[in-house]
Amino acid sequence: MKLLFKLIINCLWLAAMAAPLHGQTLTKEEKDALEAFNKMEYAAALSCAETLLATDGKRVDALFIGGESARNIGSLELAETYLQRIPDNAKKGIYAVTDLHLAQIRKALGKCDLAMESYLKYIAFFSQPDDLFIQQASKEMDDCVPLKEKPITASHVDVQPLGANINTPNSELAAFRYADRIYFTSSVPASKNSSSATRIFSALQDQAAQLLPENPKESDTDIANSTLTLQADRMYYTLCEKDKNGVKGRCEIWYRDRNYDGSWAFQKKVPRHINLPNYTTTQPSVGFDRAMKKEVLFFVSDRPGGKGKMDIWCCTIERDGTFGEPFNLPCNTPDDDVTPYFYTMTQTLFFSSDTPGGNGGFDIYRTEKAATGDWTAPQNMGTAVNSPFDELFFTFHTGSHQGYFSSNRPHGTATAKPKHTPDFDVYKARFFIDLGISIFNTADSTALPGCTLELLDMGTGKTDTTCVKLKDNHATLFMDPGKTYKLIVSQEGYFPVFKEISTVRINYAAVVEEKVWMKGMKGGTDEGNR
């Protein structure tokens, strides 16, 4: 059934894409999307679909293939964003399953009310009681678990404080890793002639942290929150005034461009329409927005026009070096929303907020920008990362697949009762993605125990292999973010199944479910083999 349905989808989708072209040949992007989807290379298919959506965000074919591909790689929030944009009058033929899949996605996300709405919509639209999908929807409707009852457990994330070369009795904030070097903000102690001040440091692995030479000489100025562009050719940071008593005042964003010899040029201030007079502008983060096809600068400000106290804003950085007009982001709340970090590879914005409903204090959230320009609903990173204390300044390093953040939790006691702990330390977080595998016999859809699983890490070219012999028909394997894997399922008397599984678009703790259908070598049909 599953293989037949997949083949029907592919054929109909090809026809659906070709129909509006009135005899024209498919473009390279359309061919690439179809080929990747046919091969079940969903990460590639999603990328191709997003290329099409960047040109026309209302293309139903691209919305569907983007949503289906995102669903298959476990990027459920993005899948929901694309599928919910498909209009009702287009939900026929290949697109008839849109509401059913949207309901399943929302159920998996714990959005029970929305899931029920989508289930009922699908059943009402296709009122055929003997339809297999109708029967499936009817069975799935009543067992949704609300989001608050589905926490990500600590087993999905390994959180550890960094070493004493970085963490000190002072606060360490705004850490990010570039290559093998970690940059962060900390304090230098007061002296007879100066008060304490925040400065930018860097540390290479376990070596002692060093002050950057670009730090200001004046003790009445704090520098903090440094960040680099993707090419590391520009460094942004915050400079904050202090009064004679050492109390921090208004902050502004500055930057330096890198010279040809690798040194940093003289600093420049971001224009006044960003550094709005009489208001604080701080915590810069830069990235490339694929929907707008422009470099962007995120920052935090208490300027007018926001939704609450401190809000996250964004502006474009044009090719001529000018900065566009700032706009307020939809993830903002009436409370403080701070420390944005935009991860370009997955178009994900991480930020912290003290809005009610979290674990206490500031929690880290994530929201992903779709090719259509929409932002997914912010998702709390869960108790594996967030604690009853404050978590701020999340960043992600591609090479090591590790996140970094600052917290004022006591070491090793993230579940302790909150107390006044003013000093922050930097933590690193290694995320694990659960791959839940269930195996069935194609002939009669019954559970098939005793299979052998092999999970090959294809992302780095290494030969790391996880091999598991199952007693029953289900197993959970662990994957790292940002990689491509090949799953091989085999058993004597059955044709082996090969599946490519990508975590390239996932850089947080997640669960990916994969159903495998095994066809016997003697007899049976080809139905459901994939």
Chain position carrying tokens 């890198």: 258
In this predicted structure, the answer to whether residue 5 has a pLDDT above a threshold of 90 is no
Across 40-44, 294-298, 383-387, 485-489, the highest mean pLDDT is recorded for: 294-298
Residue limits of CATH 2.60.40.1120 in the chain: 433-518
The CATH-assigned architecture of domain 433-518 is: Sandwich (2.60)
pLDDT classification of 229: cutoffs 50, 70, 90: very high
Instruction: Please tell me the predicted confidence (pLDDT) of residue 399.
Output: 86
Helix H or strand E segment including 135: helix 132-140
Instruction: Please tell me the predicted confidence (pLDDT) of residue 308.
Output: 84
pLDDT classification of 128: cutoffs 50, 70, 90: low
CA distances to 51, 142, 226, 489 from 264, rounded to whole Å, are 36, 60, 13, 53
Give the whole-angstrom CA distance, residue 77 versus residue 89. Answer: 23
Rounded to an integer, the average pLDDT of 225-253 is 86
**What whole-number percentage of the chain has pLDDT above 90?**
54
Helix-strand-coil split of the chain, %, nearest 5: 20, 35, 45
Residue limits of CATH 2.120.10.30 in the chain: 159-415
Q: Which of 149-163, 209-223, 334-348, 379-393 has the lowest mean pLDDT?
A: 149-163
In this predicted structure, the answer to whether residue 18 has a pLDDT above a threshold of 80 is no
At 171-214, the pLDDT tens digits run 999 999 999 999 999 988 766 566 678 999 999 988 999 999 99
In this predicted structure, the answer to whether residue 287 has a pLDDT above a threshold of 50 is yes
Q: Residue 344, Cβ neighbours under 10 Å: how many?
A: 15
Question: What does 29-74 look like in DSSP terms, one character per residue?
Answer: HHHHHHHHHHTT-HHHHHHHHHHHHHH-TT-HHHHHHHHHHHHHTT
- The answer to whether 406 and 174 are in contact (CB under 8 A) is yes
Instruction: Please tell me the predicted confidence (pLDDT) of residue 410.
Output: 86
pLDDT classification of 121: cutoffs 50, 70, 90: confident
User: What tokens appear for 353 in the block?
Assistant: 């907020």
Residue limits of CATH 1.25.40.10 in the chain: 2-149
Give the whole-angstrom CA distance, residue 327 versus residue 181. Answer: 32
Q: What is the b/e burial string over 308-328, where b = at least 16 CB atoms within 10 angstroms of the residue's CB? A: eebbbbbbbbeeeeebbebee
**Which one is the CATH code of 2-149: 2.60.120.10, 3.40.50.720, 1.25.40.10, 1.20.120.420?**
1.25.40.10
| SS3 of residue 134 by DSSP | helix
pLDDT classification of 248: cutoffs 50, 70, 90: low
Rounded to an integer, the average pLDDT of 89-97 is 89
Rounded to an integer, the average pLDDT of 444-457 is 91
Spatial CA neighbour of 430 closest among 508, 377, 327: 508
Instruction: Please tell me the predicted confidence (pLDDT) of residue 482.
Output: 85
Q: Residue 455, Cβ neighbours under 10 Å: how many?
A: 21
Give me the helix-helix angle, 112-125 and 132-140, nearest 10°: 160
CATH class of 159-415: mainly beta
CA distances to 97, 167, 222, 336, 364 from 387, rounded to whole Å, are 39, 19, 28, 17, 10
Instruction: Please tell me the predicted confidence (pLDDT) of residue 255.
Output: 98
Give the whole-angstrom CA distance, residue 355 versus residue 308. Answer: 10
At 378-391, the pLDDT tens digits run 999 988 899 999 99
